[in-house]
Amino acid sequence: MGMKWEGKGFMESLPRIYAIYTGGFLGFFALMAFFESLGMGAKWIGILFVLFTLVVYAFIGVLSRTTAVDAYYVAGRSVPPVFNGMATAADWMSGASFVAMAGGIFMSGHPYMAFIVGWTGGYILIATLMAPYLRKFGCYTVPDFIGTRYGGKLTRFCAVVVLVVASFTYVTAQITATGTIAARAFQIPFEIGVWLGLFGILVCSMLGGMRAVTWTQVAQYIVLIIAYLIPIFWMSIAQGFGFLPHLSYGSAVQRIMELEPLIGVGTQPTDTVAGLKALTTLHATPPEGALASWKFVTLVFCMMVGTASLPHILMRYFTTPSVRDARNSVAWSLFFIFLLYFSAPALATFSKLQMIDPNLATSIIGASIDQVMSLEWIQKWSEIGLLAIKDSNADGILQVNEFFLNPDIIVLATPEMAGLPYVISGLVAAGGMAAAMSTADGLLLAMANTLSHDLYYKILDPKAEVKKRLMTSRILLLIIGAGGAAVASLKLTGILGAVAWAFCFAMSGLFVPLVLGVWWKRANRAGALAGMIVGLGTGWWYLLAVRNPEAWYGLAQPWIGLDDLRFGVVGVTASAIAMVVVTLLTEAPSEEIQRMVDDVRVPHGDTIIPSKA
Amino acid sequence: MRELSAADRAEHWRQTRNLTILHLTVWFIFAYVVHWFALPLNSIDFFGWPLGYYFSAQGSLIVFVVQLFVFNRQQHAIDVKFGVDERE
């Protein structure tokens, strides 16, 4: 008996299906905990967790395969808002959010919180400026909107280029993350882990396109949010902050602020360990001065505007049944994302407090080095070079500036520090894998869809049959995925750097043409072309210039603190100026285009692009 | 389906635009202004949290979530008023 993947009956049974799935996952968790109590080793628990979830995703991916255009590109435009919200949240929260965010807050303090504010506030821009209008437009891909609104193959082509540059930058980071986790869980070399991760990703997206990705992403969201929240609740209860850590961890923040001067946070370490850092930044106190505030708000700005320009996120809102649902779906996405992001600072706080508070049994700062070195988690992470202890002043006591670690391990190591059972570590590994895989899926699909729909079908061969187009998309998925894995195995940049760059690329090239396409009737083709080309070009030049101050790009130092994480500010400004100036210098768009914009602005009626392929 | 008159169309868009500007103003305050002043705000105690830190860890985020649900209701009300909402 085949399952129906659309229609009212299926949508109505969704809550039940996913409730059973969630129950099943919790049951699996309980089973693993039981096995652990029988004496099963940490290694096997990790392997079983990752393997079990991979098999489930692949199962959903294979079951929901499709050969229909609407199902392949936009999941049949039938995904209910709440479920689309979960799928978007999984699509959105990458390996970086899951694995690196709490560690970043732990290590870098208040300045790092800009990511949290930026990665949530961007959804206000999506809901108010973009999603409902793009849904009304009825496009299949983001360049589809640019190409139809402004007209012309070159405009469409430029949008495809921006999309591919931004998404490819992003996807290498995600494949890196899946590779890292797979390598650790299965104890295989990183290079093999990367290809194994890619295989899992492709199984989900190859056969069923957007429809398969949607239903796997919902499943992945459930795994990742459970995996993120359980350790936080556990630690909160263990440290005496009660069952509602989010309401009560303020006193933990204050306790850290009291302890910081006592243990000397801020004293620079005298030793250095390559790739690792000692904690020198205050937890909740922002640095002084206008430049620090400026750096905070510019990072927030880049992450927000970048969010609103990322094609793999925008395309999720093409899958809802109506314009109103698209809007509601943005709100639900933000809610589901919020659940994780407002937990990250709590995790960082508890994790830090249990390390530094002398009243807690888990504390290591101020303890004797011999005693600390005998802890199992310290040994385990030191062995693989992600943690190091140097007794710089040779007093036999561990000071805060003698403890070095890679911030990325905080989320993965916190359960072990807190002395939680291994089953939690296995759960966290499965959650990290889900986060990275779901984002990689969305990104690969965004690229493959735009190349097959916009480049191949709309530009190169407008007569191509449906079957040929879907086949092209699948082949492209393989090629881009392999390309991403090949680049990932070179380990060029860190996960976070690559993610921030992707945001800046997307905002430099796409934000202004997308917004003005709806909000400024006068905006025309020449202006959009100028906006995309000048924006991406300037952003790219600035990135290269800040990264290589000695080279010929002609920039000795960054402008007012705008470093490589913030180059989008320069790109988007250039893009806006170029688009407005060129539009005003050239003719207004035709009557027909202006009427099209009028139609986009009201929810009712047919989509602009007819829904028949 | 009733055809929308040019005047109604303009008015619908004007109200939509004003609503959008209102929400973007609130957004601007909680996305940028409060964080610019995070250091002085930190001296205020908010249920145990230093206020500046609280905004970046929870406060702004809660505002954003609530704001979006409110915005959807308001925008839908405008659409209904002009009869341009989607009906089954």
Contacts of B61 in chain A (CB under 8 A): 116-117, 120, 338, 341-342
Contacts of A119 in chain B (CB under 8 A): none
Closest-CA distance, B84 to chain A, in angstroms, reads: 5
Return the half-sphere exposure (C-beta side, CA atoms, 13 A cut-off) of residue A509.
Answer: 28
Residue linked to tokens 């096997």: A44
Return the half-sphere exposure (C-beta side, CA atoms, 13 A cut-off) of residue A368.
Answer: 3
Q: Are the Cβ atoms of A328 and B72 closer than 8 angstroms?
A: yes
Q: Are the Cβ atoms of B86 and A604 closer than 8 angstroms?
A: yes
Number of helices (H), then strands (E), belonging to chain A: the values are 28, 3
Closest-CA distance, A251 to chain B, in angstroms, reads: 5
Contacts of A257 in chain B (CB under 8 A): 50
Q: Could you please report the per-residue DSSP string of A141-170?
A: SHHHHHHHHH--HHHHHHHHHHHHHHHHHH
- Residue A1: its pLDDT value, please? 33
In this prediction, residues A569-598 reach a mean pLDDT of 95
Residue linked to tokens 């396409």: A517
Contacts of B20 in chain A (CB under 8 A): 128-129
More confident residue, A384 or A476: A476
Per mean pLDDT, which range of A80-94, A198-212, A594-608 is the poorest? A198-212
Q: Are the Cβ atoms of A334 and B12 closer than 8 angstroms?
A: no
- Residue A129: its pLDDT value, please? 96
- Residue A562: its pLDDT value, please? 87
Q: What is the DSSP letter of A607?
A: -
Q: Are the Cβ atoms of A128 and B24 closer than 8 angstroms?
A: yes
For the entire predicted model, the pTM comes to 0.93
Closest-CA distance, B33 to chain A, in angstroms, reads: 9
pLDDT at A88 over 50: yes
What length is written for chain A? 613
Average pLDDT over chain A reads 89
Among partner residues B9, B56, B72, which is closest to A116 by beta-carbon distance? B56
CB neighbour burial string for A21-33, b if at least 16 within 10 angstroms, e if fewer: beeebeebbeebb
Q: Does B8 touch chain A (CB under 8 A)?
A: no
Q: Are the Cβ atoms of A286 and B64 closer than 8 angstroms?
A: no
**Residues A113-132 pLDDT 10s:** 999 999 999 999 999 999 99
pLDDT at A311 over 80: yes
- Residue A188: its pLDDT value, please? 82
Structure tokens at A310: 């990322």
% residues pLDDT > 90 (chain A): 52
A 266-305 residues with CB < 8 A to B: 284-286, 288, 293, 296-297, 300-301, 304
**What ipTM is given for this predicted complex?**
0.96
- Residue A50: its pLDDT value, please? 87
Chain A: residue nearest B54 by CA?
A: A250
- Residue A553: its pLDDT value, please? 67
**Residues A364-397 pLDDT 10s:** 998 999 999 998 889 888 887 889 999 988 898 9
B 25-64 residues with CB < 8 A to A: 27, 30-32, 35-39, 42, 46-50, 52-54, 56-58, 60-62, 64
Map A317-366 to HEC letters. Answer: HHCCCCHHHHHHHHHHHHHHHHHHHCCHHHHHHHHHHHHHCCCCCCCCCC
Contacts of A331 in chain B (CB under 8 A): 65, 68-69, 71-72
* pLDDT range class, residue A3, cuts 50, 70, 90: low
**Residues A325-347 pLDDT 10s:** 999 999 999 999 999 999 999 99
- Residue B2: its pLDDT value, please? 56
* Angle in degrees, CA A367, A372, A378, rounded to 5: 140
In this prediction, residues A520-533 reach a mean pLDDT of 96
A 99-158 residues with CB < 8 A to B: 110, 113-114, 116-118, 120-121, 123-125, 127-129, 132
Among partner residues A121, A288, A335, which is closest to B60 by beta-carbon distance? A121
Q: Are the Cβ atoms of A296 and B4 closer than 8 angstroms?
A: no
- Residue A2: its pLDDT value, please? 44
Backbone angles phi, psi at A440, to 5 degrees: -60, -40
Q: Are the Cβ atoms of A117 and B85 closer than 8 angstroms?
A: no
Q: Does A244 touch chain B (CB under 8 A)?
A: no
Among partner residues B32, B56, B83, which is closest to A110 by beta-carbon distance? B56
Q: How many CB pairs under 8 A join A and B?
A: 150
Q: Are the Cβ atoms of B57 and A248 closer than 8 angstroms?
A: no
**Residues A435-444 pLDDT 10s:** 988 999 999 9
- Residue A611: its pLDDT value, please? 67
Closest-CA distance, B58 to chain A, in angstroms, reads: 6
Most confidently modeled of A197-206, A484-493, A537-546? A537-546
* pLDDT range class, residue A493, cuts 50, 70, 90: low
**Residues A174-183 pLDDT 10s:** 888 888 778 7
Interface probe for A, chosen from B35, B41, B46, B74 (most Cβ of A below 10 Å), is B35
CA distance A303 to B32: 12
Q: Are the Cβ atoms of B57 and A342 closer than 8 angstroms?
A: yes
CA distance B22 to B20: 5
- Residue A492: its pLDDT value, please? 66
Angstrom distances, CA of residue A195 to CA of A106, A132, A183, A503: 31, 37, 10, 25
CB neighbour burial string for A396-408, b if at least 16 within 10 angstroms, e if fewer: eebbbbbbbbbbb
Alpha helices in A153-249, H assignment, sequence order: 153-186, 190-206, 209-238, 245-248
Chain A: residue nearest B22 by CA?
A: A128
* pLDDT range class, residue A495, cuts 50, 70, 90: low
Return the half-sphere exposure (C-beta side, CA atoms, 13 A cut-off) of residue A141.
Answer: 31
| pLDDT < 70 regions, chain B | 1-3, 88
